Every structure is written in structure tokens, then in C-alpha cells.
Amino acid sequence: MKRQITIKDIALKLGLSTSTVSRALKDHPDISPKTRAAVKELAALLGYRPNRIALNLRNNSTSTIGLIIPEIEHYFFSAIINGIEEVAYKNDYSVMVFQSNESYKREVINTQAVLTNRVDGVLVSFSKETNDFSHFQKLIDNEIPVVFFDRVIDELQADQVVADDYQGAFLAVNHLIEKGCKRIAHFAAPQHLAIGKSRLSGYHDALLKHNIPFDQSLVVLADTFDSARKSAHDILRRPDYPTGFFAVNDMAAIAIIKEAKHLGLRVPEDIKVVGFENSKSAAISEPELTTVDQFGFELGREACQLLLKRLKNEENETSFKPIKKVIKTRLVVRSST
Amino acid sequence: MKRQITIKDIALKLGLSTSTVSRALKDHPDISPKTRAAVKELAALLGYRPNRIALNLRNNSTSTIGLIIPEIEHYFFSAIINGIEEVAYKNDYSVMVFQSNESYKREVINTQAVLTNRVDGVLVSFSKETNDFSHFQKLIDNEIPVVFFDRVIDELQADQVVADDYQGAFLAVNHLIEKGCKRIAHFAAPQHLAIGKSRLSGYHDALLKHNIPFDQSLVVLADTFDSARKSAHDILRRPDYPTGFFAVNDMAAIAIIKEAKHLGLRVPEDIKVVGFENSKSAAISEPELTTVDQFGFELGREACQLLLKRLKNEENETSFKPIKKVIKTRLVVRSST
DNA sequence: TTACAAATTTCAATCGTTTGCACTTTAACA
DNA sequence: TGTTAAAGTGCAAACGATTGAAATTTGTAA
């Protein structure tokens, strides 16, 4: 690689010391106008760019944040990245992306990578497999600010940003009931994830509000297209199949619709379906899917803003109080209900 | 931030010099077994981690690659990132992501960011707006290896990785013809993009092969959902509307299907539609979309591998010969044709 | 004991930039 | 002309790790 122009090069050509050049470049008042002008001119001419790595070393900071995320391919996560990148960009931070691919092992390695790369802070949404969180604790022990988003855990002393899963689920189920559904199934996420729990509990309470008994047999674990399609097949073949479906994400909801149509049922006449995410696919599905908008972009923005705030107040080490931000959701009504 | 353990800390505690500690840690033969063992033990005990930034400065390399990409939210691009991250991860590289959001201005800033961050190499898919490429030339002038993927340009002395757009388009249109379509429309991407040109020319040649005259009025510029829906509306209202549609991407194809159904036309009975991308949405659409698989993941992998190869052979500066890799595509036949 | 080689270890410079302090120049005033 | 303060520059250390060369220690044989 071509050697980059350094302060030393400029100093040499001008017969100055590196200190003078350094100060001239940043308008230090000690430097005479003549010298300053000369330095700046030559710097521009040579195309001098300060070497960030040297600065990183000196300041012990990289202006980089690490992002550990299950899978970029999910619409929801890429929307979040969008929000994160937006805020990072505006604050002159760069983002390093590490995917766990929903693997705990990979995630542990990711936390190490984040450490070796000396990022200033980390944004995390952990994998479905993860139920030991000591690798994140290690980050916190190293006093690297961590903000969890979407998939969060209360046991760690760290900030959190989440969608209002409870509210969203409540809205969704309430909507199904108002549309006339008496028996409503819930396709749920694993219950060790907070989103799994909150959405189930929103579902539960919406039923309660309308005096509909909670039926455990109508709650199935299915948060992917394939598993949801299979479960939908089973449940729709029961004689007393439910007429309302609340799925934990859009993919599962779409799988339900697909399978229903496959079995000769009409949506929304025979069954009604609500998803969660408001992905691109929701608008494409046929009929278009009623869903809960999670505002992924805003969620990413909030998470990044929170992290940057922590990075700026680093001196303030007295008694860390975790902040939990909750982003309100919104029901997007379409033709599947 | 807590001060990290350095080599100096270990040296001090053991009454050694930093050089000895450094060499002991990397099994240099000069170091006596006793010393080595002692150093390693203490290093492990204290949780020593080498400071990558210091190494970056010394080696003038960051083990980081920059990725400049239009929008992460597109399935195709996130699939590519997946492939890139996979290869980077295996080779101990980290990936910094910069989105241009299809904005030329932002892209120029991204190239600067990539420079200040002193990445070792850059992977680029440029924005639709871009038709001045001097900002990329600047990267090349700085002797930073650049690999273009998907959206590429021949005028720059840089490697390229692309899907075989011509072949894919040919397959798609050939398939439509074999399914009985006589009049086939093409919803195209802007013609200053190589993908726009290649896919049009694949379309053209497939027609030619079957002696179907090329009709310019059947080629419309529409590569987004909204623009395609609008164009589909117009074209389907013509009395002599075409019965085959080849869209430059899945979103446009899905828009065509939506609009056709909206106008009371049946797919695939009345019109047949083929997309390009093989996104998740293609499998979800109703009817499921026949499309050309671009193998985004493999494309990302190839691009990253090519870049890493360049990074490894940096000494070899004699007469740079750009490499162009073409990834074969595959027609995925579903029920829209 | 001396000499010499081999085995270990340390020194010092390096990467590029910043910054407290010391130094030199300039100018002004007595 | 000498004194002194102000203005402008330079020195050197620091960030953390590496590495060629120099220095030290150790071992061995005469």
C-alpha cells in the first residue's frame, strides 16, 4: 500500500517540527498566521489525512461501535441496522457488524472480536440459543457500554431498548376479538426470550379483557415459516379449529395464511390472521397481512442514541442506573382480518 | 473505560522487559522455557489481550474491510452481506458497513469514511445515482484494493463480481416463451447500470432466438414496487397487453402480479410473470413467483474472497489485471408461469 | 582462572499524533 | 544597551506492541 502523507512529511518539507504542524492544523493560537497558512496549504496540496489509527492509540478510543445481531436477512433487523447506521453516521461513528446466526457459540466469539477490535461500545440482540450471558457480563466488566435491543435480559446491568411487545400483542388480539373471533390461537416465540413472554402475556390479557378463557392448547411454539406452516396444518385440521390467529412474527403469520388457503379455507372469511413486525412481506402477502408495526428503524435509532449518550458521559461512573426504553407499537390493519 | 492489561504490566510484575514478554507470548525460540511459562501464566491470569490498535499502527493494517452498499434492507444485499461476513469471519477480518441509501453524495462521504478508518480493502456496490466514479478512483489511487459487486463498472481498474445477468434474463424470457407467451414485456433497471443493460440484452436475445420481434414499447423503466405497479397498470390496460412479463427484480414482478389481480386478470392463466433475485418475498407471493436466483450469498462470498486474495498478494504490484467473476444464475420455476 | 560461544534478555527505534514544558526569537520599554 | 514579557517553535514522552542489534548472563572447555 502506498505510504500515506503524515505530519512528518509536512514538517520536513516546511522545516518545522511535527508539533508545530500538528498545532497549525488544528488552529492552535500559539501558531503564527504565516506558519499556519503555509502548513494548511501544503497539507491540502499533499492530500494529508490524519491517521485515525494513531489517534485511536493515543486516545484509547476508536469511534466505532460493535453490533452483534442474529441475522441481517430478517427485515426487522435490517431496519434496525438502518436506524443504527443513521445515528452513528451523524455522530461520526462507524459500525462493525457481527452476526451470530442464532448460534450461541458464534455469539461468544463475536463478543471477543468486539473486544479485540476495541470498539467504544456495543449494541446487542442476542441469539435464540443464548441462555448463559456471561460473555456479555465480560464486556460490562471491561466497562464497555452495552445496549441490548429487541432481545433483552433484565439480569444484566445494561440499557435496553425494546418494542412494546405487550401492547402490540394486546392490540392485535383485541382487534381479532373485535372482528368477531372467539377462539384465537397464538403462535409464540420461545418463552425464555422476553419478546416471547411479553407477547404471550399481551395475548392472554386481551382474551381476559373480553372474558374469553385462555386455552393452553391454542398456544404453540412456532416462530419460523416452516414450523408455523406445520403447526398451522395440525391446528387447522382439528374440528374445532380457531378462527383467529396471532403470530409472533410476519413469517409465521404468512405461513398460517398459506396453509389455510392450501386447506381450502378463506382469509379473512374463515380465519383471520395478525402478524408482528410489519415487514415488506406483510404488504405483499395475499391477502395483505394485518400486523403490528415494531418501528425497527426507530428502535435502532434509539438504541444507538442511548449508547452514544453513555459513551459521552463516561466520566460519570457513579452508580450506573440501567435505562429501559420502550417503543410503542402500532396496529396496521389490512385485509387478512 | 477501565485500563486494559498491557505487556508492560506483565513485564513490570515479572521484572522483565517488554520485549521479552512480547517474544514469550509468541513462542519466540530465544526465550527460555521458564520465562515463557511464567509470562504465559501471568498473562492468562490477568486476562491480557493484545491491543489491536497498537498493532494496527505498527503494521499499518487493520484487518478490516469496508463495505459500501446501497441499502441493507433489500433481501439481495443482506444475503450478500451474509456471504461477505462469513468469509471475513473465517479469515479474522471485521466488516465495517456503510450505506449509501442510493445517494451519490452519501456515497462520496462513505468513501472518505472508509479512508479515515484505514480499512485494508473495500467492497462496493454503488448507488443508482452514481455516474461519476472519481471517488472510487481515489480509493484505487491510494492503492486500496477495491472489489465491485452486482453494480459494477468496467472503466475502473478494479475487480468485479457479478451475477450472470444476461444468462439469467435469457433463461427467464426463454422460459416465458416456452410457456407460450408471444408478447413479453420487460420491466427494466436504469440503463446506466450494467445490470440494466445485461438483463435487457438477455431479454432481447431470447426473443431473437425465437424470432419474436423486439418491441421497444414493451420495455419500461420500472425497478421498484411502486413504479412497477404504476407501469403495470398502464400496460395492462392496453387492448393488446402482453401476456408475459420479465421484471428486473422480484419486487417489480410482485407489483405486476398485484396489479394484474387487481385488474381481474389471472396469473398464470392470463399473464405469466418472472422476477429476478429469488428473495423471500418471491416464495410468499401469491401465486408464488418464478424467478431467477442470483445466489447473493455466494456472490458475497466470492467478492470477499477475491478481495482477501488481493490483500494477501499486495507485494505483487506488477501490472494489475482486473478479474471479473461471473456467478451463474438459476431459474426457479414456481406457479406464476 | 580465562576465554569464548551459546543462550537469554534488554535497549532503542518505530508506527503517527498530541501536548506539557522548555527553549528561542522578537519586540517593546526603560 | 540591557531587561523582560510575549509570541512562536521545538523537544520529548506517551499511547502498546514489535524487532534488529547490542548487551548480559550462563555454560563449557582449555
pLDDT digits (tens, 9 = 90+) for A40-94: 999 999 999 999 999 999 999 999 999 999 999 999 999 999 999 999 999 999 9
> Does any CB of chain A come closer than 8 Å to the CB of residue B117?
yes
Mean pLDDT of chain A: 94
Tell me the average pLDDT across A207-226: 96
- The verdict on residue B177 lying in a domain is yes
Both B158 and B137 in one domain: the answer is: yes
- The verdict on residue B55 lying in a domain is no
Strands B146-149 and B121-124: parallel
With CA atoms as reference, the chain B residue closest to A310 would be B1
Torsion A7-A13-A18-A20 (CA) sign:
negative
Is the Cβ atom of B190 within 7 Å of strand D at any atom?
A: no
For B118-160, what is each residue's pLDDT tens digit? 999 999 999 999 999 999 999 998 889 999 999 999 999 999 9
- The verdict on residue A2 lying in a domain is no
Residue type, B77: F
Domain at B282, CATH number: 3.40.50.2300
**Whole domain around residue A198: which residue ranges?**
165-293
The neighbouring-strand residues paired with B274 are B246, B290
> Does any CB of chain B come closer than 8 Å to the CB of residue A170?
no
B1 pLDDT more than 60: no
Domain at B34, CATH number: 1.10.260.40
The B 17-76 residues near strand D by Cβ under 7 Å are 18-19, 22-23, 25-26, 48, 50-51, 54-55, 57-58
- Total domains in chain A come to 3
Both B176 and B154 in one domain: the answer is: no
Measured between alpha carbons, how far is B199 from B204 in angstroms, rounded to an integer?
Answer: 8
- The verdict on residue A216 lying in a domain is yes
Residue B53 burial (CB < 10 Å; 0-12/13-18/19+)?
buried
Question: Closest nucleotide to residue B17 (Cα to C1')?
Answer: C10
The B 1-40 residues near strand C by Cβ under 7 Å are 15-20, 23, 30-35
Q: What's chain A look like in SS3? A: CCCCCCHHHHHHHHCCCHHHHHHHHCCCCCCCHHHHHHHHHHHHHHCCCCCHHHHHHHHCCCCEEEEEECCCCCHHHHHHHHHHHHHHHHCCCEEEEEECCCCHHHHHHHHHHHHHCCCCEEEECCCCCCCCCHHHHHHHHCCCCEEEECCCCCCCCCEEEEECHHHHHHHHHHHHHHCCCCCEEEEECCCCCHHHHHHHHHHHHHHHHCCCCCCHHHEEECCCHHHHHHHHHHHHCCCCCCCEEEECCHHHHHHHHHHHHHCCCCCCCCCEEEEEECCHHHHHCCCCCEEEECCHHHHHHHHHHHHHHHHHCCCCCCCCCCCEEEECCEEECCCCC
- The verdict on residue A249 lying in a domain is yes
Q: Which of B95, B2, B93, B7 is nearest to B50 (CA)?
A: B7
Residue B62 burial (CB < 10 Å; 0-12/13-18/19+)?
buried
With CA atoms as reference, the chain A residue closest to B81 would be A72
Both B87 and B132 in one domain: the answer is: yes
What is the structure's pLDDT at B224? 94
What is the structure's pLDDT at B118? 93
Cis peptide before A268 (omega within 30 of 0): yes
